A and B are shown apart, each in its own frame.
Chain A
């Protein structure tokens, strides 16, 4: 599966994503500069973390107007798989491809630590392959990761099964202590209604090699790859 990793001025997890996909997952990945207007033969888009455009105005606010984002919107609207990580999640919200917004952490502190995530649905390409009841351990590193949406939007997210991950403690409980940024209902990651566009604040690409402290991030990428392979292969008669 061919991954395209977007690169904005100020992205700083772009090379990590390429490395993780190529070496941790074993699939091809190429960088796509933000001035490009075409995704080429990309089969999945990753919008990496960092500080695109220095986080000026608001996180992700300027990156969403880069030419590549028009191509990403077309790709997403045609059902293409798009994953936004950290700043990539913020960009997807600003672009209107995901609902809600990410605001300043309640503590006002930049949080850089490992967290546990509970996967709430197996309905989406990114989560269908994650074993039930398997908590994911992954690092976070952000100052603006507090997920906010109005009450009506939150109700819709839950009703449509769009909340993919919640911050939980080691026992799997979504406690206040386990919430690193004050996100509504401990939300760490969501998808659009169709499930093909998703974003999360934690960094799966930093958890794809045991040398780095964990390999749970692989489960997310592998789930995406399996979903893509199922889509592309002819339906088996049963």
Chain B
């Protein structure tokens, strides 16, 4: 299975990278941009079925792949 994990900064955390990218996009002429958030994408190839993998991936995201103090995560198993 392929596990696709997305980690993004929490809304309360100032995201200077997102702000810098937003400024650059606006400078390039793109309009209507309300917010940009820069996060991290992690792909893991794992053996197992979706039901057994889900709690393991969730735990790994919580303990290691994201920092719950500053980041949120979501994932898909395909």
Which A positions have Cβ atoms within 8 angstroms of B?
A: 57-58, 61, 65, 93-94, 100-101, 103-108, 146, 148-150, 182
Contacts and interface: CB of A to CB of B under 8 A. Distances in A.
5 contacts: A57-B65, A103-B13, A103-B14, A104-B17, A108-B16
B20 A148 contact: no
B13 A148 contact: yes
A73 to B, nearest CB: 15
For chain B, the bracket of interface size reads: 10 to 19
Nearest to A100: B69
Interface in B32-64: 40, 64
A94 B70 contact: no
6 nearest interchain CB pairs? A101-B69, A101-B70, A108-B16, A106-B16, A148-B13, A104-B16
A150 B10 CA distance: 10
Given A57-B65, A61-B67, A107-B16, 10 more contacts: A93-B69, A100-B69, A101-B69, A103-B9, A103-B14, A104-B17, A105-B16, A108-B17, A146-B14, A150-B12
Contacts of A148: 13-14, 69-70
B14 A61 contact: no
Contact of B67 (A58, A107, A182): A58
A182 B17 contact: no
A66 B52 CA distance: 27
A103 B65 CA distance: 15
B3 to A, nearest CB: 16
B64 A61 contact: yes
Contacts of A105: 16
Contacts of A100: 69
Interface of B: 9, 12-14, 16-17, 20, 40, 64-65, 67, 69-70
A94 B64 CA distance: 9
Nearest to A102: B70
Most buried by B among A58, A65, A94, A107: A58
Contacts of B67: 58, 61, 94, 101
Nearest to A60: B67
A148 B40 CA distance: 19
A108 B17 CA distance: 7
A94 B71 CA distance: 13
A75 B14 CA distance: 34
Contacts of B16: 104-108, 182
A94 B67 CA distance: 8
A20 B17 CA distance: 36
Contacts of B64: 57, 61, 65
A149 B17 contact: no
Contacts of B14: 103, 106, 146, 148, 182
Contacts of B40: 57
Most buried by A among B16, B17, B40, B65: B16
